[in-house]
Amino acid sequence: MATTFDTNVNPGIPTRRDWGAAWRALRRLLADGNDTVQVFRIMRALNSDTSHRNYRRLLSTPQGGRIAYARVELARRFADREWLASLPADSVGAAYLAFLDRTGFSPDGLADIANADNEGWRDAPHPYAWFGRRERDIHDIWHVLTGYTAEEHLGEACLVAFSYAQTGGLGWAFIGAGAALKSLRVTGERHFAAAVWEGYRHGRRAAWLHAQDYEALLAEPLAAARRRLDIAEPVKYRAAQARLAEQGTPGI
């Protein structure tokens, strides 16, 4: 869910930010939290040079050059259910497979949504485009690693804040702030906003997850991976979940 590209322009040149398009997409997203296409429109409008900056950062990390050189398309790898099923029962990959079964999501489905009105980006042969696809494809793995569920808007909002801290993409900040403000307006409670802020702080504290070899990470025990990556327990998130459930407004 990072920068996307118009195939009529050079993908090496960042697009200009379009705040008007971002605002229109945010209004639609807040009206219907399941309208995931709007998320990608916000990313296109605001993330500009995010993939450029983070790709260069990847190259500066110990494993980054090898990861970039291999240029694995993770959507294809994550769609291999036989491989996922072969991973240990306590692994990140096993938890991810359970996530897919529980939610009905699929890596291919997310790619289809991302390319709903930007089809040319699907296979664009450029390192920045590849990095943008990589950021899109690891989003659901981050749900598993952080403990923020994808079944309710609170979990998505917290992961959005976590993602902003990790990537610096303004699109993430725009969505997270909009969701928190909507919650305050609807419920008058600060629990939702506190959980979103916690997501941001946890993203700042954690290791930079873009630098991970995800094929190796998925074979790692989930609890050990969380410790190694310094991903904290989502205490305020769970408190907000409970509070919103008491109010009967878990989805916001």
Q: What is the pLDDT of residues 79-137, one digit of tens each?
A: 999 999 999 999 999 999 999 999 998 887 676 666 656 645 567 788 998 998 999 99
How many Å apart are CA 244 and CA 191, to the nearest integer? 8
How many Å apart are CA 135 and CA 141, to the nearest integer? 10
Domain extents in the chain: 19-247
pLDDT digits (tens, 9 = 90+) for 208-244: 999 999 999 999 999 999 999 999 999 999 999 888 7
pLDDT digits (tens, 9 = 90+) for 136-156: 999 999 999 999 998 778 999
For the cut 60, the answer to whether the pLDDT of residue 7 exceeds it is no
The SS3 of residue 219 is coil
Q: Alpha carbon 33 to chain centroid distance?
A: 15
For the cut 50, the answer to whether the pLDDT of residue 3 exceeds it is no
**DSSP for residue 91:** B
For the cut 50, the answer to whether the pLDDT of residue 2 exceeds it is no
Spatial contact of 235 and 198, defined as CB atoms under 8 Å apart = yes
Residue 160 is encoded by which pair of tokens? 């959005």
Quote the pLDDT of residue 218: 98
How many Å apart are CA 96 and CA 88, to the nearest integer? 12
Please name which of 159, 162, 173, 170 lies closest in space to residue 203, comparing C-alpha atoms: 162
For the cut 80, the answer to whether the pLDDT of residue 186 exceeds it is no
Spatial contact of 135 and 54, defined as CB atoms under 8 Å apart = yes
How far lies 157's CA from each of 68, 108, 186, in Å?
29, 22, 15
For the cut 90, the answer to whether the pLDDT of residue 67 exceeds it is yes
Spatial contact of 3 and 130, defined as CB atoms under 8 Å apart = no
